[in-house]
Structure 1
Amino acid sequence: MRTRTPAHRLSAPSRRALAVAATTALCALGLPFSAPAVADDGSQCTYPGKMYEGRPWALQRVLLDELWSQSTGKGVRVAVIDTGVDVKNPQLAKAVDVKSGINLIPKDAKDANGYKLKRGNEQGTTDTVGHGTKVAGIIAARPAKGTGFVGLAPDAVIIPIQQNDAEGNGTAETLATAIRHAIAKKADVINISQDTADAVRPTKLLEDAVNEALKREIVVVASAGNDGLGGNVKSTYPASYEGVLAVAASDRNNERAQFSQSGDFVGVAAPGVDMVSTVPGGGHCADNGTSFSAPYVAGLAALVKAEHRDWTQEQIVAQIQQTAERSVAGHDRLVGWGVVDPVRALTEDDKPIEKPVAHEGVTRAEAPTPAALPLGETPEQRAARLATYVVVGGGVLVAAIVGTAVALRDHRRGTARRPAP
């Protein structure tokens, strides 16, 4: 992705974010993709990497035991359209369906020096960049001794589709081919951690492939893009296509990461800062970008799909959006419907919904109707007053009669007892 601002004029954090943005883009209309993946410290990860012993923060925010008591994504097939998935990493060896994989890099592809490129395994299980291996790990890495890192859906199955490489040999056309391959291999979820450079709308072939996947009830998840520095707001593709769940990046505070692309097309946000994941050959490293937010959501989609096999892709997307954590009642262009909440998505699922609705925050209610304030006596009040008079008057009259009778009786008794003179 091109930028008009010289990198040497930016601060170190800005340069890192720009590097992530630059290395996760693909060009439209058959132009080459640019190579994804830049590590958190601004340099490439080393492969193999060191084991990450603790539990990464993006997983600490989830009650994994409670989550996995509901679903582990068992049997759900997730296509990772990326730079390949290296099965030499022990946490991915049993997660990848090698037979369903494919390498779409042209056989005559050349490197930057003009030499013939080593394409790697024909099943898409070679990853010289490391990007696709990280993406796959966030989705479905198996548990392993010596590390707290694990995929969000540890029983899901990865379909490796190598469609891009370090030289940017992927195209919009090969991305469309990759989607159709995922359909043929019966994917339930497709993860696309790439976006178009300069927000150029790609060839219609790509849109047609996306629509075909949606018609087959496949959940399509795509990264929103990393060109959000300076408040940039623009559409990116394939994330902006209708029906695609576009994912922005959030930080440890559940706020939009500074590099994350904003726009009305953003569906949800997910952790995308300091994202620990698997790397080629074994071990782990950390990276930043919406490229790693998207697989977090793809993993969640796999969990929901495993729990609700009869739900449509629209219902799965709506469930993820409806149960996201948000600070406003509805949708905004920064984080969409909010930052995904995996446990809530799996527990507040009594019935499917078609579209998310605002249900938090202050809502507009009807103003209360003021009580009538009559200036005079109403007919009802007059009737009540007269009735009171009748009752009270009757009581006084009865009391007077009774009192007179008693007095007369006492007088007569007194006269009868008086002796005659």
Structure 2
Amino acid sequence: MKSATRRGLRVRVGGAAASALIAVGVSLAPGATAADVQSEQWYLGPMQAEKMWKTSTGEGIKVAVIDTGVNPDTPSLKGQVLADEVPKQVAYGATDDYAGHGTTMAELMVGTGADGGLQGLAPGAEVVPYRVPLGNELSAKEEKLAPTSAEAIKAAADSDVRIISMSIGSAAYEPEDEAALKYAASKGKILVASVGNSGQDSGYIEYPAAYPYVLGVSSIDDKSHISDFGQSGNYVDLVAPGENLPAYCNGNFEQYCHNLNGTSFSTAITSAAAALIWSAHPDWTANQVTRALIDTAGRKWPKDEPTANAGYGTIRPRSVLADPDYDAGEPYSDPLRKENAQEGEKLVTEIPPASASAKPSEPSAGATAASQGAGGSTKDKQATAGSDDAEATAADASDGGSTLWIALGAVAAVLVIGGVGFAVLRARRAN
């Protein structure tokens, strides 16, 4: 992987220090109009967002955004960020986004598009921000005050958020994070994470996407081709748009940068798609929403043969919203039961979620755990990489999804971080 730096931001990959940034061609456009920025959100048309919003905007669904913080004062996010609902013990810096990434993710999910901002796919939903240290952007004092990723996940699990979105990642297996994610799954949450931007042949495994119970999301372009930078492996569950998209250039929030790539975009939009479905069916469990995403995904291969590059295919929430008779199946039957089961461990079942309006649910997404490295657990999906992976989602262009890691960089060369590639989970900061 080529090395690039921005203000010392680096991650550890395979035990060696390496940049998590992907260089892309961009243009800087201060004062870009709403039409300029939103026209770059090319997936909204193919997904038929306007039609979906007649059925659901995500109203009533809260999404935890575990990232670099979320600025609640951008025009697109005013009234959309529930900063007061962040538990005090993990609230440090939650609304002080030091990179602009978390704010971009939030806008992609719930943004109203006001005054030239990004248009969220689920503008009726709301986000609850959690800031964790990623890279070395924060001072040592700030890192000490900030919650660890495990602490943030557990706090979100104990709240009434329905979805936990994580456009972050690391090559490091952390047992505390895995335990926190299992706990969140047992509480009936849907967990979504970026699979990373190191490339399909990198051989890297990215966490938290690789943990059981987490939906790992990779990227497609506007031609429904699987992105070359998206990582492949047993932990890819779905794909969504992640190329040539806009994002805040940095934490100053003065302008958007353009033509950016990353699986972070895909993660945010997949989380928003889940919010649309759950809002339309508030009594469904996490299992049922996950099953709906999987069953209706666009693919050219049998549903029970997920591929290494595209998993079960491209998200298509409209297919669920447009079908009043859609059957989401058993509420307490995990659609990925076999994949989520770990050796020697009994599946968590029927633990009531935090939200009173949701029924008890098993962990809803992920894949089988197998030994990885020095005791780390990864999903063991039995994935098959077919020759048609490159056009996995061409089967139906009526829906798509997009995830992105935010644009970071100087005027001369803007670098974009990819989902799991950008961030180092806080537990690694002592290394």
Fold shared per TM-score above 0.5: yes
Alignment pair present for 1:125 and 2:95: yes
1:12 is matched with which residue?
A: none
In the alignment, which residue of structure 2 is the partner of 1:185?
Answer: 159
CA offset at residue 168 of structure 1? 5.1
Residues 1:205 and 2:176 aligned together: yes
Instruction: Map 1:159-308; keep pairs closer than 5 Å.
Output: 159-165=128-134, 167=136, 174-197=148-171, 200=172, 202-228=173-199, 231-277=201-247, 281=253, 283-286=255-258, 287-308=260-281
- Counterpart Cα distance in 1 of 2:109 and 2:327: 25
Secondary structure of the 1:53 match is helix
Counterpart mapping for 1:17-416 below 5 A? 40-41=24-25, 50-54=32-36, 55=39, 56-101=41-86, 122-146=92-116, 149-165=118-134, 167=136, 174-197=148-171, 200=172, 202-228=173-199, 231-277=201-247, 281=253, 283-286=255-258, 287-330=260-303, 331-348=306-323, 350-353=326-329, 354-355=334-335
Query: Structure 1 residues 37, 342: closer, same or farther in 2, change over 3 A?
Result: farther
Contact 1:52/1:283, CA 8 A, preserved across alignment = no
Paired residue type of 1:224: V
Partner SS, residue 220 of structure 1? strand
Alpha-carbon RMSD: 3.6
Q: Which runs of 5+ in 1 are unaligned?
A: 8-17, 106-120, 358-421
Q: CA 1:195–1:249 in structure 2 vs 1: closer, same or farther (change >3 Å)?
A: same
- Alpha-carbon distance between aligned partners in 1 of 2:133 and 2:287, rounded to the nearest angstrom: 28
Deviation at 1:150, TM superposition (A): 0.9
Q: Contact 1:37 / 1:129 at 8 angstroms: preserved in 2?
A: no
What does the per-residue CA deviation read over 1:150-195, in whole Å, with 9 as the maximum and x for residues that have no partner?
1000011110111125625569981101101212332110011112
- Check the 8 A contact 1:77/1:158 in 2, yes or no: yes
Q: CA separation of 1:203/1:122 partners in 2, compared to 1, >3 Å: closer, same or farther?
A: closer
Matches of 2:10 and 2:287, distance apart in 1:
27
- The Cα of 1:272 is off from its aligned counterpart by 0.6
Change (3 A) 1:36 1:235: closer
Query: What CA distance in whole angstroms lies between the structure 1 residues aligned with 2:44 and 2:9?
Result: 25
Q: Is the 8 A contact 2:199 2:231 kept in 1?
A: yes
Q: Distance in 1 between matches of 2:64 and 2:269?
A: 14
Structure 1 residues 272 and 25: alpha-carbon distance in aligned structure 2, compared to 1, 3 A threshold: farther
Partners of 1:104 and 1:267 lie apart in 2 by 33
Between the aligned partners of 1:268 and 1:26, the Cα distance in structure 2 is: 25
The higher-RCO structure (CA 8 Å, 6+ apart) is: 2
Q: 1:212 to 1:296 in 2, by over 3 A?
A: same
Which protein has the bigger helix share? 1
In 2, Cα distance between equivalents of 1:123 and 1:52: 29
Quote the offset at 1:49 in angstroms.
5.8
Shift of residue 203 of structure 1? 2.2
Task: List per-residue Cα deviations over 1:359-386 (Å, max 9, x = no partner).
Answer: xxxxxxxxxxxxxxxxxxxxxxxxxxxx
Question: How much identity, in percent, do the aligned residues show?
Answer: 30
**Aligned residues of 1:76 and 1:188 also touching (Cα < 8 A):** yes
Whether the 8 Å contact between 2:85 and 2:128 is mirrored in structure 1 is yes
Deviations for 1:242-269, whole angstroms, at most 9, x for unmatched residues?
2211000111111211100101221100
Instruction: Tell me, yes or no, if the aligned pair for 2:277 and 2:317 is still in contact at 8 Å.
Output: no
* Bigger strand share: 2
Q: Which amino acid is the alignment partner of residue 184 of structure 2?
A: A
**Cα pair distance change 1:238/1:264, threshold 3 Å:** same
Q: Which of structures 1 and 2 has the bigger CA Rg?
A: 1
Structure 1 counterpart SS, 2:309 = coil
Q: Which residue of 2 aligns with 1:400?
A: none
Deviations along 1:361-412, one digit per CA (max 9) or x if unpaired, are xxxxxxxxxxxxxxxxxxxxxxxxxxxxxxxxxxxxxxxxxxxxxxxxxxxx
CA contact (8 A) 1:270 1:294 kept: yes
Letter of the 2:335 counterpart? K
Using the alignment, how far apart are the partners of 2:77 and 2:87 within structure 1? 17
